[in-house]
Amino acid sequence: MKIKITKRELINFEKKILKLFEKAKIPYPVHFSGGNENQLIEIFKEIKRGDYIFSTHRSHYHYLLAGGSPNDLEKKILDGKSMHVFDKKLNFFTSSIVSGCPSIAAGVAYALKKKKSKKKVWCFVGDGAEDEGHFYEAVKYVDGWDLPCTFIIEDNNLSVETPKEARYGKSEIKWPKCVRRYYYKRTYPHVGTGKWVDFSGVKVGGPSF
């Protein structure tokens, strides 16, 4: 689709929301996007109007790139809906359940194929969702039935504050072609206090052998 918002506008939107959050105007959890503007702009050029988009707890950039209005999004965020952005007109859905969307995305893709629709499904997940059995099941179903659905792993090497190596050692799964991945270094900490929490002294995850 033709992208109507620039990288700078995306960044400025999040900065504006961050200011509101820090002034305690948003007494709800907010997850800020940042550091992945270029990758997302490229991906959204491939997405067509009318395609179905499934997002995550971190949905602001996805919504704006899908053509959502910044003013509407700001209202939703001020109303506590940052993690529940939904817009039927844009076929835009989120779930803040980690890996909550992949099986729904697979079901929508199944329906689209059955109806011989040309529309596609795009399902964004974090690398934390990649750890979940739900993700595996949805990928297997989409791959097996060759459904029009692409999963995009947004890999910042962190599930909240825990890197992959601390979660499951060195495993790297080779996913089928319906799964893509982009890497990025996030701009903000997991939950938007705007301030980084120093976890360097905390021992995290995993069995000790």
Ligand X SMILES: Cc1ncc(C[n+]2csc(CCOP(=O)(O)OP(=O)(O)O)c2C)c(N)n1
Binding part of the chain for ligand X, among 41-49, 70-78, 90-98, 195-203 by CB under 6 A, reads: 90-98
Q: Does 58 contact ligand X by CB under 6 A? A: yes
Binding part of the chain for ligand X, among 22-30, 43-51, 136-144, 151-159 by CB under 6 A, reads: 151-159
Binding part of the chain for Mg ion, among 13-21, 47-55, 143-151, 158-166 by CB under 5 A, reads: 158-166
Give the binding-site size for ligand X (rule: CB under 6 A): 15
Q: Does 158 contact ligand X by CB under 6 A? A: yes
Q: Do 174 and 202 touch, CB atoms closer than 8 A? A: no
Among residues 1 and 191, whose Cβ is nearest to ligand X?
A: 191
Task: Quote the tokens at residue 133.
Answer: 């059995």
Task: Give dist(CA 88, CA 63) in Å, integer.
Answer: 12
Task: Quote the tokens at residue 28.
Answer: 């709800």
Task: Give dist(CA 179, CA 159) in Å, integer.
Answer: 19
Provide CB contacts within 8 A for 106, sequence distance 6+.
Answer: 121, 138, 141, 142, 147, 149
Q: Does 126 contact Mg ion by CB under 5 A? A: yes
Angle between helices 70-78 and 7-22 (to 10 degrees): 20
Comparing CA positions, the residue from 127, 124, 129 lying closest to residue 98 is: 129
Q: Does 127 contact Mg ion by CB under 5 A? A: yes
Give me the residues that bind Mg ion (CB under 5 A), please.
126-128, 156, 158
Give me the residues that bind ligand X (CB under 6 A), please.
31, 57-58, 96-98, 126-129, 156, 158-160, 190
